[in-house]
Structure formats: structure tokens, C-alpha cells
Amino acid sequence: MRPGPADPRQLVKTQQRLWERLPDRFEGLELSPVTPLGTCSAMSTINQNQVVSTIRGTEVASDPTNELAIEAAVRRRAGQARVDLAACQRVLRAQPFEGPGMFAHFQLFVLVSSARDTGSGRTEAELLIDHLRFWHDVLGDTADLTFTMFQPSAVRERIDDTVRPALKISLTEDTERTKSENYYSGTALGIGLDGEGLGDGGFTTWTADLLGDQKERCLTSCVSTERLTAVSPAA
């Protein structure tokens, strides 16, 4: 319940920079501060005890990527060939936070894209290019962009022969990462700047689970706007 540490004037400038650089293909949404009860625990590996539940069948938003994945599934079911959504939301977590830079509520700028698999990792490559290109555009040439393969797949080959050539930026493989191995499906991303971690991302099974179709692909990525403001304040 305590105020956040960021200067709201600088935070707004960071948000503006992110929205201005967002490609037209991504539709921005203003999310509700509450979501259906069980959204995070049902869709991901977040324990319900880490979420602030209400007495009206809802819970306080704790991960906007889950909320956008639900919206993406609705649009995919309605026949939209590919869905690309973005949001900026302050979220609340209920687990105990300890240590410097750890807070119960914080703001995230997130991207979620969903489309149907076309085989050989081609769909995944297209989604990765659009997400990584945006984060590099925002962070610049000193961006620390990494990927980790938790499971062998054709995506690894597409990163070498499609993603890297299309982006022409540094994209390092992090073979030591184990964080979120049970959260992301196959491939995870790391997003940082000058050695400072800002966020992450990766493929999930969320839209596939919601639609009952294992051919669905869903990529999420996000950064903390407060961390971004601290390491790269807007002019």
C-alpha cells in the first residue's frame, strides 16, 4: 500500500517513449485493474497465494501478459489470423518481497502476440523478430537481449537462419539460465540494458490451452518501466 519509488513525471516520459516506438501492428489496450479469479494460477505457474483475491470473483491484476493472452485467445477464436497486443499496467503481488529494488506493486509494459503454427518454427521466428526489434529500438545498441532454449526445437535453427539475419543485432544465447523453466514453453528471452535486468519473455501455452489447439503459438515479453526509467531516464 506504500507509494512506489519512481518519479511519476519521469515514469510518464518512459511510457510515452514506449508507446511512441510501438509498431502499428500492436494494438494498445487499457486493462482493468481486476481480472477473473484464478487468471494467473490457472494459466501459469503463479500460486494463488501470491495474488490479491477479492470477494467478488475477481483478483487484483498481477500479470498483464495473462490478461492479454485471454484477449488474444478471444480474437483468435473470432477468426483473427494474428493478434498483437500491448499494455502498460501497475500490478500487485502478494508474496513477501525482501531486498533492495523489490516492491509489492510495480508497472509493466508488455507485449503479447498469438498466431497459428505454420511448421518448422517459422511462426515463432516471425513473432520473435517483431518483439526483439521493438525492445532493441527502445533500448538501443547497448541492449542485452538473450534467448534460452529450455527444450530442443526448430526454433533454435530459425534463430540462426531467420531471426538474427533479420534483426542484425546482438542476440546472445544464455545456456546457464534455469529461471522460469517451468513457466515458459521451449524458448525464453532476457531483456536488459548495460548489465541491468529489465524484464523477460518467452513462448507460453496459454492461447493453446484456452483454445484447445496445440498449434497455437503465444509469445510474451515485458519490462519494468520503473527499472527502465532508473537506468535510462527519458530526456
CATH number of the CATH domain containing 162:
3.30.930.10
| Residue 123 belongs to a domain | yes
Residue among 201, 203, 207 at smallest CA distance from 221: 201
State the average pLDDT over residues 129-152.
96
| Residue 118 belongs to a domain | yes
State the average pLDDT over residues 71-79.
97
The half-sphere exposure of 78 on its side-chain side, counting CA atoms within 13 A, is 8
Question: Is the model's pLDDT at 35 over the cut of 80?
Answer: yes
| Residue 3 belongs to a domain | no
Computed over every residue of the chain, the mean pLDDT equals 91
Domain of residue 100 covers 8-231
Residues 132, 125: contact at Cβ < 8 Å?
no
DSSP output for 87-98: EEEEEE--S---
| Residue 2 belongs to a domain | no
Question: Structurally, how many domains does the chain consist of?
Answer: 1
The half-sphere exposure of 47 on its side-chain side, counting CA atoms within 13 A, is 5
| Residue 82 belongs to a domain | yes
pLDDT per residue over 80-115, tens digit each? 999 999 999 998 877 665 555 567 778 999 999 999
pLDDT per residue over 157-170, tens digit each? 999 999 999 999 99
| Residue 1 belongs to a domain | no
Query: Over pLDDT 90: what percentage of the chain?
Result: 72
